[in-house]
Structure 1
Amino acid sequence: MTFNIAGYINSAGRVQVDDLDLDAFVRHPLSAATLRCLRYMSDVESHTVCYLRDVLVTPSHRDPDVTAFMSMWAFEEFWHGEAIDEVLRLHGLKADYEHIRSVRAAQGLKDRISPVLQSVAANTIGEDFVAVHMTWGAINEWSAHAAYGSLIEKEGHPELTKLLSRIQQQETRHLAFYASQARDRLARSRRARALTRWTTQRFWAPVGSTIEPEEETRFVLRHLLGDEAGAKAIRQIDEKVAKLPGMAGLTLVERGVARFGTGARTPAAGPRRKGRPAPG
């Protein structure tokens, strides 16, 4: 099914928070584990504009459907971060632009050279690179949707459930765009299929793992996906990825989370590869 880009543009917007009972977070505070996960999620959502920067220097910027979607995607993701930050502040945690600035500053040299390297590689490859970007985005959005769902189930806080469910609803449309684009682009180009399979196998890593300290990624993955329900969610994401043209037989998410000690797969010997930042 073709994604309705015009319908999405006309209905995209800020996640609704005005009707939430924010005082409920004061009366019934969230657990320390949930707050730690929310901090991680906020950092990822707030970093979206940096992912967008890296993508706009690639052939993806030449497709008006892609740029129209990504303009609205970055807008909605910004407000996801703002909404989560409000919850963090209600618990006495620092959640402001100074914190966001510190996360970006911590990326150091890799952040400065990332758009240069990605531009050179992607523009050398050409149009087929867009299939990599779309597939990567789909994997990340499936992962983010599962993570929010797991946090809803584990915490069981009514107002948090309302907020995260609304974020999930918007993430559902994001992943629908990425998956639709990935299927179409992979289906029509053998080169795109080979390139996407090779790139994701070697460089994909769990959402946020390229910007957060390793111990935070390890904690979040174990807390949200380290049980039987999490293992099932991981398998379901890999099954969705495997249905994309040229991606059969891959277990990208299972392998990716295993590098952080989550799931059943034993990590391969040798140093852990880190993936490039991609949409989340």
Structure 2
Amino acid sequence: MSSATGFDVRAYARDPRDLRPADLELESLRGLAPETLEVLVHLWCVERGLLDRLRDILVTPTHAEPRVTAFLTTWSYEQHWLAETLAAVLAANGRTAREPGDTAGGRARRVWDERARPVLGAVAGNLLGADVTGAQMTTSGLDTAVLAEVYRRLAAAEPRLAATARQIVDLKERHRAFFAEEAAARLSGSANARRLARVAVSRWRWPGTRYCDPGPVAERIGRIFGAPTDRAGLLELDDELAALPGLGGARPVRAALGRLARE
């Protein structure tokens, strides 16, 4: 489960970074600005929703990959406590962590995801074989990298959250290291994996916009990434992704920001 030169999954599993509400001085985080709380609500929705990735992954051949499943066991534990911590910050500010209402299209997509997608995904995944794992690692890494940038901007915008946000960024960067290593290895070894990854990347959307009205998300993201210099780190993620085998020219972050700007 560990690589001699790369990401050590055994060491990761032995040392989870479970940021918990008890680790924060919640009293000092009261009275956060409403716009900051809106961003935190969105982040809570996203972090909690990422746990659904296990449902989608574990019905595919990836469930037979011991290195990946060992990583995801600890990853899901860390994700759970991260979502709980964000909920605690919101509660300290009188806000209840809850998902926004689904749009009509979002409700249809949710029904599809919860009822049909696991079954069809299992069938399709088993037909495609282990190459599907490369695409899953690629988009998981993209989600993680984008969220790390959001937390960085949040730290800059709200000094009281800076220490907590930096801890979360460190957590995300560790996750990102695993996903990047796995994606590179799998894409370099298979033309079919590269093809599946290109399709997955072309369909990628900003985290947390699959079910809800993306308009409010666009407003929040536009606020914290308002200046061109603020967006520079985000756009660099496209260059990093394009360096992966078979993904030259891919610009999913720029495309997602463009869609949000049109909402």
Could you tell me the TM-score, scaled by structure 1's length?
0.84
Distance 2:175 2:135 in 1: 16
1:34 CA displacement: 0.8
Which of 8, 11, 26 is the equivalent residue of 1:7? 11
1:101 CA displacement: 11
- 1:277 maps to none
1:243 CA displacement: 1.2
Which of 32, 48, 54 is the equivalent residue of 1:46? 48
Distance 1:43 1:231 in 2: 22
- Please list every run of 5 or more consecutive structure 1 residues that lacks an aligned counterpart in the other structure: 262-266, 273-280
Change (3 A) 1:64 1:251: same
Contact 2:17 2:171 in 1 (8 A): no
- 2:249 maps to 249
RMSD: 2.1
Change (3 A) 1:46 1:240: same
Contact 1:141 1:174 in 2 (8 A): yes
Q: Which moved more, 1:137-146 or 1:121-130?
A: 121-130
- 1:264 maps to none
1:182 CA displacement: 0.2
Percent of counterpart pairs with the same letter? 28
Contact 1:13 1:76 in 2 (8 A): yes
Paired positions, count: 254
Distance 1:249 1:225 in 2: 23
**Which residue type is aligned with residue 52 of structure 2?**
C
Q: Which moved more, 1:184-193 or 1:13-22?
A: 13-22
**Which residue type is aligned with residue 47 of structure 2?**
E
Change (3 A) 1:136 1:24: same
**Which residue type is aligned with residue 117 of structure 2?**
S
**Which residue type is aligned with residue 88 of structure 2?**
E
Deviations 1:193-233 (A, max 9, x none): 122113311x1111111143312321232123232133202
Q: Kindly report which structure 2 residues correspond to 1:66-77, keeping only aligned pairs within 5 A, or say none.
A: 66-77=68-79
1:175 maps to 2:176? yes
Contact 2:62 2:133 in 1 (8 A): yes
Change (3 A) 1:229 1:120: farther
Contact 2:20 2:82 in 1 (8 A): no
Contact 1:16 1:166 in 2 (8 A): no
Distance 1:247 1:4 in 2: 26
- Please list every run of 5 or more consecutive structure 2 residues that lacks an aligned counterpart in the other structure: none
Q: Which moved more, 1:116-125 or 1:240-249?
A: 116-125
Distance 1:102 1:209 in 2: 11
Distance 2:94 2:200 in 1: 41
Change (3 A) 1:118 1:225: farther
Contact 2:144 2:176 in 1 (8 A): yes
1:16 CA displacement: 4.9
Contact 2:49 2:208 in 1 (8 A): no
Q: Which moved more, 1:207-216 or 1:249-258?
A: 207-216
Q: Kindly report which structure 2 residues correspond to 1:180-259, keeping only aligned pairs within 5 A, or say none.
A: 180-201=181-202, 203-259=203-259
Q: Which moved more, 1:226-235 or 1:242-251?
A: 226-235
Could you tell me the TM-score, scaled by structure 2's length?
0.90
Contact 1:14 1:76 in 2 (8 A): yes
Which of 87, 93, 96 is the equivalent residue of 2:95? 93
Change (3 A) 1:13 1:234: closer
Distance 2:63 2:69 in 1: 6
Contact 1:131 1:196 in 2 (8 A): yes
Change (3 A) 1:150 1:101: closer
**Which residue type is aligned with residue 32 of structure 1?**
P
Contact 2:101 2:212 in 1 (8 A): no
Distance 2:6 2:220 in 1: 34
- Give the structure with the higher percent helix: 2
